[in-house]
Structures are given as structure tokens and as C-alpha cells.
Structure 1
Amino acid sequence: MTSTQDFATYIAGLPRILAGAAALFRDAEGRVLLVEPNYREGWALPGGTIESDDGETPRQGARRETAEEIGLDRELGRLLAVDWVHGAGRPPLVAYLYDGGVLADSDFAAIRLQEEELLSWRLVPREEITAHLPGALGGRVLAALDVLAEGSGTAELENGHRAA
């Protein structure tokens, strides 16, 4: 067996981890933009799976997914949160959440939903986040909003809760 085969065997035996990235967009009142997927119950943020086979980075994945899902192709701000989410019946997920910024009325008017994946969108105030985004995702959004209010840093999370 060659060293290339040994390395390939080693790589094939490593644990699998999913990676996703999303953007946190707000309006002038601080409400968060959520989207309603048609392939599962509940709400989500604009974002999705990082296409690592194509060499895509988390930031590039969040921007691509945002452009595909809601038609807004914009430079994203800083990384607000990284969340390690244990899987139930799936590998663990590492979720990256970037600052999409505050959108103007004209930005909201320009939203075009990806009909293959989304039914609708809405703006949700902080106090209703966990009602629309239960579990780790809701905690991730609240932690990201806290980071924005604090003015610096990135939240390190495990299952939507601060790890440190």
C-alpha cells in the first residue's frame, strides 16, 4: 500500500461533520428577517449548506445561499456566531452566522423568494424569535443579536448556548 492510499484510508475514516452558513438581516426596528422553507415545518434564516466540494468558504456559502434564496447578493459583515450542534440521526453541524446588516425598505421590496425552496418571509422581533426558531437556531440568533448589541466579538456556541 502506498502512502497515498494510507492517507486516503485515513481521511475516509474520519468523522463526518455538516457545515452550514446563514445571514442575519434586520430592519431599522431590529426585527430579524426569517424565511419559511417549503421542505420542512417552521422558519429559518436565509442560508444553507456550504458546498465544500467546490472549495466554498462559510462566508461565500452564506452569500451564495442568500442570493439564491431571497435575491439579495451583498457583502456580508462580520462573523457573529459559530455553533456546534449535535445531530440526532445525522452528523454534527457547524453553523456559521454572519451579519447581513440593516436593510432599507427598498431592500425588502427587492426580495425575490426562491420558489423551489421558500414559501414566504417575515420580520420577527427579538421577543418572538424562539417561538419561530426553537432550539439551537433560536439560541444562535439571540446570541448573535447580543453580540451586535455588545459591539464586538463572536459568540462560540454549543447547541445554541454560549460555550464560554
Structure 2
Amino acid sequence: MTTTDDYATYIASLPRVLAGAAALYRDAEGRVLLVEPNYREGWALPGGTIESDGGESPRTAARRESAEEIGIDVPLGRLLAVDWSIDAGRPPLVAYLYDGGVLTADQLASIRLQEEELLSWKLVEPAELTAHLLGGLGLRAQEACRVLESGEGTVELENGRRPSAS
């Protein structure tokens, strides 16, 4: 076997990790925009899976997914959080969460939902995020709101929580 074959075999043997990206959009009152998927329970942030075909980046995926899901296509702000999420029944997920900014009343009125995937949208207070977003997603979104409020840099998370120092 050649070195190239050995390397290909090695790469094929590595564990798989999913990657997703989303944007945290807010209104002038600080409420967070959530969308209601039709394919699972609970609410979500606009975003989705990073497409590996063509080498899509997390930032590009978050912007593309937002444009597809809610019809909002604006440059995204800084990376707020990166979350390593483990959930039974799927490979680990690395989730990137970007600042989508503050949407104007006109932008909110122009939201057009992707009918194939979404039922509705709403704005919720940051303190209510864990009541609407399942699992670590609610914690991730709350941590991102804290980052925005404090001016802190990007936060590293594990299942929505800050890991203890090792």
C-alpha cells in the first residue's frame, strides 16, 4: 500500500462530526428572533447545516441559511459562540453562532418564511430562550446574549455551558 492509500484509509477511519451555523437576530428591544421548524419539536435560531460540498464556511452557511429560511440577507457580525454538542442518536455537533444584528421594524415586517421547513417566527426575551429552544441550544443562545451585553469575546461552550478550566 502506498503512503497515499495509508492516508486515505486513516482519514476514512476518523470519527465524523456534524457542523452547523446560525445567526442571533434581535429587535430594538433586545428580543431574539426564533423560528418554528415543521420537522421537529421546539423552536430554533435561523441557521442550519454547513454544506461540505464546495467547502462552505460556517459564516457563509449562517448567512445562506438565514436568507433561505427568513428572507433576511445581511452581513453577519462577529462570532459569538462555538459549542461542542453531544446528543444521543447523532454524531457530535460543532455549532457556530454569529451576531445577526438588530433588525429594523421594516426588516422584521419583510420576513418571508421558507414554507418547506418553517411554520412561524416570534421574538422572545433572552431570559425565555431556554423555555423555547431545546437542549443546549437555549443555553447557547443565552450565552451569546451575555457576550453581546458584556462585550466579551467569543465564548467556547460544551452543550451550551462554559467548560470548567482544566
**TM-score (structure 2 length as normaliser):** 0.96
The separation in 1 between residues aligned to 2:60 and 2:136, in whole angstroms, is: 22
Written as runs of structure 1 = structure 2, the 5 A alignment for 1:1-164 is 1-164=1-164
Q: Is the 8 A contact 2:127 2:142 kept in 1?
A: no
CA distance in 1, matches of 2:99, 2:53: 25
CA offset at residue 53 of structure 1?
2.4
What secondary structure sits across from 1:30 in the alignment? coil
For the aligned residue pairs, the C-alpha RMSD in angstroms reads: 0.9
Deviation of 1:144 after TM superposition, in Å, equals 0.2
The 10-residue stretch of structure 1 (23-32 or 85-94) with the greater mean CA deviation from structure 2: 85-94
| CA distance in 2: counterparts of 1:23 and 1:109, whole angstroms | 18
- Alpha-carbon distance in structure 2 between the residues aligned to 1:47 and 1:101: 14
Displacement of 1:57: 0.4
- The 3-state SS of whatever aligns with 1:162 is coil
Residue type of the partner of 1:2? T
Show CA shifts across 1:95-153 (max 9, x none).
Answer: 00000000000000111100000000000012211110132000000100000011130
Paired amino acid for 1:130: T
Cα displacement (A) at 1:74 = 1.0
- Deviating beyond 4 angstroms after TM superposition, the runs of 4 or more aligned structure 1 residues are none
Instruction: Output the CA distance in 1 between the equivalents of 2:81 and 2:66.
Output: 17
Unaligned runs of 5+ in 2: none
